[in-house]
Every structure is written in structure tokens, then in C-alpha cells.
């Protein structure tokens, strides 16, 4: 039965993105839905709303993991609002529930999600997002993508390897 579960891909990014970033996220959402994946995100505005709008327009399922106490805070394209009341600790839940993460731009909240994902060995695909280095040594853990279609293809391919073996 769990073999029938859909892949779940997280889309993360800023609440106040540039118009280009929002377009990118919307196309990511559309492509995820076309490929039959479920979208999970932080449930609020900006990148999260754009991705949910894209997924909804193609009939995909959208899950929003909300930081606050009320489902009303979810963007209108979230079909299943999960109310945590846990503030930014909910970032951990967004990435741990996914088999791969696509980061579009983003600020420190997005960076925390990237870090939590990498800490949990969940692959992160980046579209114009953070670059990391330590002691002048570049960290190449974030997998770069050229465009939304490429990002979704990479995410779904890597997600395959994360799924529980039956």
C-alpha cells in the first residue's frame, strides 16, 4: 500500500521573492503536479504561494506546514493546511516530510531549511539560492539546477532513492 504513496517534494523560498523567483516557483509547482508528485511547503505567501498556485493549476496535491496557530494563515492554494503552532521549528517538518527539496532564492529561513535537509541527508536542488563554504572551502552539497523543469527532474530522480524499500 505504501508503495502507492506519491513522492513528496518540498519547495522552499522567501515570503517576499522577486517576480522572477515567483515565476520560477510557480513553474516548479506546475511541473511537480504534472509529474504526479505531492508538494509540501511552509504554507504562507511568496515562493510558497506561487508554488502551490502552480501545482493547483495542474491538479496537484498541496500541503502547507504552518508556523502559526490558525489555518486561516495558509495561502489559498494550500489544500491541506497543517497547523503546528511551533513557529520556525516547523521548518524541520517541511524538509523531513519530503524526499527532496527545491530551494528558490530565499533568505535565512530558507537557509535553515537547506541546513536541516542536508543534516538529514535529504537532497537539496537549488535555483539561484544560497552558496555555502567553510574555512574557504566550497561546499557543493546543494545541487544546482538550470531551470524549473531541470530542478523537478533532479528532485524526482533523487527522491526515488530516498523512498522506503518495500
Residue numbers of the site for a copy of itself (CB under 8 A)?
A: 1-2, 5-6, 8, 38, 56, 61, 63, 65, 69-72, 74, 76-89, 92-93, 96-97, 105-109, 111-112, 114-116, 118-120, 128-136, 164
Smallest gap from Cβ 148 to a copy of itself, in A, equals 17
Q: For 135-155, give the DSSP string.
A: TTEEE--SEE-SSHHHHHHHH
| Nearest alpha carbon to residue 43 among 19, 1, 11 | 11
Closer of 129 and 148 to a copy of itself (Cβ): 129
Closest CB 122 distance from a copy of itself, rounded Å: 10
Backbone angles phi, psi at 39, to 5 degrees: -100, 130
- In the bound state with a copy of itself, the residue whose beta carbon lies nearer, of 119 and 147, is 119
When the beta carbons of 1 and 146 are compared against a copy of itself, the nearer one is 1
CB of 67 to a copy of itself, least distance (A): 9
Tell me the three cell numbers of residue 76: 489559498
**Could you tell me which residues come within 8 angstroms of residue 98 by beta carbon, excluding any fewer than 6 positions away?**
8, 9, 10, 40, 117, 122, 159
In the beta sheet, which residues pair with residue 164? Answer: none
Question: Cβ 153 to a copy of itself, closest distance in Å?
Answer: 22
Amino acid at each position: 500500500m505504501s508503495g502507492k504513496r506519491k513522492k513528496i517534494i518540498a519547495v522552499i523560498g522567501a515570503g517576499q521573492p522577486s517576480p522572477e523567483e515567483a515565476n520560477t516557483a510557480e513553474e516548479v509547482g506546475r511541473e511537480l503536479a504534472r509529474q504526479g508528485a505531492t508538494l509540501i511547503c511552509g504554507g504562507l505567501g511568496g515562493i510558497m504561494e506561487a508554488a502551490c498556485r502552480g501545482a493547483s493549476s495542474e491538479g496537484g496535491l498541496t500541503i502547507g506546514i504552518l508556523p502559526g496557530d490558525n489555518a486561516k494563515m495558509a495561502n489559498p492554494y494550500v489544500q491541506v493546511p497543517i497547523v503546528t503552532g511551533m513557529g520556525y521549528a516547523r521548518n524541520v517538518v517541511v524538509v523531513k516530510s519530503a524526499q527532496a527539496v527545491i530551494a528558490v532564492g530565499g533568505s535565512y529561513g530558507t537557509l535553515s531549511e537547506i541546513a536541516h535537509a542536508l543534516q538529514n541527508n535529504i537532497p537539496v536542488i537549488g535555483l539561484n539560492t544560497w552558496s555555502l563554504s567553510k574555512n574557504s572551502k566550497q561546499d557543493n552539497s546543494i545541487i544546482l539546477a538550470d531551470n524549473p523543469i531541470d530542478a523537478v527532474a533532479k528532485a524526482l530522480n533523487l527522491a526515488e532513492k530516498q523512498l522506503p524499500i518495500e
